[in-house]
């Protein structure tokens, strides 16, 4: 299979999968799928560097489903044939939904093993044996300790968002899970970044893997228009309300730095007459799912989130992302704005930067190799910045300090110390779907 092939049928996938993909509207493999599916069908391990929105769920899910369909009989009690580990509940739910869509014409059992959901229901399902378990590390290790699940017969294993799993402190549970697996297994590890810790985990987890990579992190932002607005902290509320009230902002995710901050931003939007939901790690699973469902079905068009759940948000048609606060880790900026501009569509990211956050913004510029503010800006009164496609490379003509920006954007609800850049009048987009 090469990048020039244009259909999933060319992989030789089982007919129920091809039909399921067609029914779901997936016809053209994305680059990560074109690179990863073939080697896995041949039994190879995979080390993948790919962000969310690139179609990696199908990249590991389709080969797994194909090989499970070829197996005879049923899985033994308390076992699973395949295991997918994800760092967050939202991502696990999204993976399970995608697998169901891919295999809609096949009889394959899936089970979510997550905290915040009925433990008894999970134990009962496992007692019968399951084809595919999609789990977060914490709940899975709990069930392993109880003897509710055995992994010594699991032949297909995927670690998804491995860097985020390590960021969240799951390294020891992951190592415990890996140690319980069948030694002759087929494995895949996917990560948006490849720090030393993830590479070390990959070396111990994978055997002679095929390396695949798409959309390097430094270039992910190039398809997204970015605007930075220097706004004093107390004035951010009014500015956010003005941005979100613009009818061209069709569906927006607002990122806050803390859980309490996310709740406060959502509450303030409600007070300003703008329906909004918040989602973060302190909320129960059912509350988080209700918020996501309301955002997906359009009941609310504003979702306020924290970084910990950012990668698990997979919603089509997000036209805008607003960074209400700058993240502590510059890598999180890329993952945040990656919620828009997905699957080849364009997107808009607006960052509300207080004077004391300029240092954090400079760290973002360094990791993304883009210039978002003129070099002369340190701190002081807010000033406007014109959106640029993927930012400007340092030294670019538009990055010169003092160059006037054209006024664009919704007017502030109250007078703020900024004349901010506005999102382009694009309205909702329908991005190309990737499996």
Same domain, 62 and 201: yes
Range of the domain at 368: 218-399
For residue 251, being part of any structural domain is answered with yes
User: Which segments of 324-420 are extended strands (E)?
Assistant: 347-353, 388-389
Same domain, 228 and 249: yes
User: What does the pLDDT average to over 311-329?
Assistant: 86
Among candidate residues 215, 244, 267, the one where a domain is terminated: 215
Among candidate residues 176, 199, 215, the one where a domain is terminated: 215
Could you read off the pLDDT of 260-308 as tens digits, one per residue? 999 999 999 999 999 999 998 788 778 888 998 899 999 999 999 988 7
Higher pLDDT, 344 or 268: 268
For residue 367, being part of any structural domain is answered with yes
Same domain, 223 and 210: no
User: Percent of the chain having pLDDT more than 70?
Assistant: 82
Same domain, 123 and 35: yes
Could you read off the pLDDT of 139-186 as tens digits, one per residue? 999 999 999 999 999 999 999 999 888 877 788 999 999 999 999 999
Q: What is the H or E stretch that residue 295 is in? A: helix 285-296
Read off the CATH number of the domain in which 25 is found.
Answer: 3.40.50.300
Domain count, the chain: 2
Same domain, 40 and 136: yes
Same domain, 104 and 131: yes
Same domain, 284 and 155: no
Same domain, 195 and 238: no
Residue 141 has a CB neighbour count (10 Å cut-off) of 19
Q: What sign does the dihedral 288-291-297-298 (CA atoms) show?
A: negative
Q: Where are the alpha helices (H) located in 103-136, listed in sequence order?
A: 119-127
For residue 133, being part of any structural domain is answered with yes
Same domain, 180 and 53: yes
pTM flag (> 0.75): no
Distances in Å between the Cα of 172 and the Cα atoms of 83, 168, 178, 201, 426 are: 17, 11, 10, 11, 46
For residue 14, being part of any structural domain is answered with yes
For residue 417, being part of any structural domain is answered with no
């Amino acid at each position: 299979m090469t990048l020039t092939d244009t259909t999933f049928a060319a992989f030789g996938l089982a007919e129920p999968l091809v039909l399921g993909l067609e029914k779901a509207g997936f016809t053209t493999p994305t680059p990560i799928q074109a690179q990863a599916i073939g080697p896995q069908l041949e039994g190879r391990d995979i080390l993948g560097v790919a962000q969310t929105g690139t179609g990696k769920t199908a990249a590991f899910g389709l080969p797994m489903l194909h090989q499970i369909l070829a197996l005879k009989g049923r899985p033994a009690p308390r076992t699973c044939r395949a295991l997918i580990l994800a760092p967050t509940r939202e991502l696990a739910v999204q993976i399970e939904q995608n697998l169901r869509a891919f295999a809609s014409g096949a009889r394959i059992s899936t089970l979510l093993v997550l905290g915040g959901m009925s433990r008894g229901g999970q134990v009962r399902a496992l007692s019968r044996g399951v084809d595919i378990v999609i789990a977060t590390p914490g709940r899975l290790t709990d069930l392993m300790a109880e003897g509710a699940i055995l992994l010594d017969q699991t032949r297909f294993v995927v670690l998804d968002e491995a860097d985020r799993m390590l960021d969240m402190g799951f390294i020891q549970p992951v190592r415990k899970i890996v140690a319980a697996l069948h030694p002759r297994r087929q494995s895949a590890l996917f990560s948006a970044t490849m720090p030393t810790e993830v590479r070390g985990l990959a070396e111990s987890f994978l055997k002679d893997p095929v390396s695949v990579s798409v959309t390097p992190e430094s270039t992910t932002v190039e398809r997204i228009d970015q605007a930075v607005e220097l706004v004093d902290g107390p004035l951010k509320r009014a500015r956010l309300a003005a941005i979100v009230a613009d009818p061209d902002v069709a569906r927006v995710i607002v990122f806050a730095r803390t859980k309490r901050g996310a709740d406060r931003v959502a509450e303030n939007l409600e007070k300003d007459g703008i329906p909004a939901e918040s989602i973060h790690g302190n909320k129960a699973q059912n509350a988080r799912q209700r918020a996501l469902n309301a955002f997906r079905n359009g009941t609310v068009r504003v979702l306020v989130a924290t970084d910990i759940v950012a990668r698990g948000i997979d919603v089509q048609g997000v036209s805008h992302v607003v960074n209400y606060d700058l993240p502590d880790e510059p890598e999180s900026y890329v993952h945040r704005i990656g919620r828009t501009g997905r699957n080849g569509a364009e997107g808009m990211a607006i960052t509300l930067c207080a004077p004391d956050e300029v240092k954090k913004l400079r760290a973002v510029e360094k990791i993304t190799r883009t210039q978002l503010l003129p070099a002369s800006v340190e701190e002081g009164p807010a000033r406007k910045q014109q959106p640029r496609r993927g930012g400007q490379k340092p030294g670019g003509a538009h990055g010169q300090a003092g160059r006037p920006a054209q006024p664009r954007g919704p007017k502030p609800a109250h007078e703020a110390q900024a004349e901010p850049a506005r999102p382009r009048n694009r309205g909702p987009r329908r991005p190309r779907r990737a499996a």
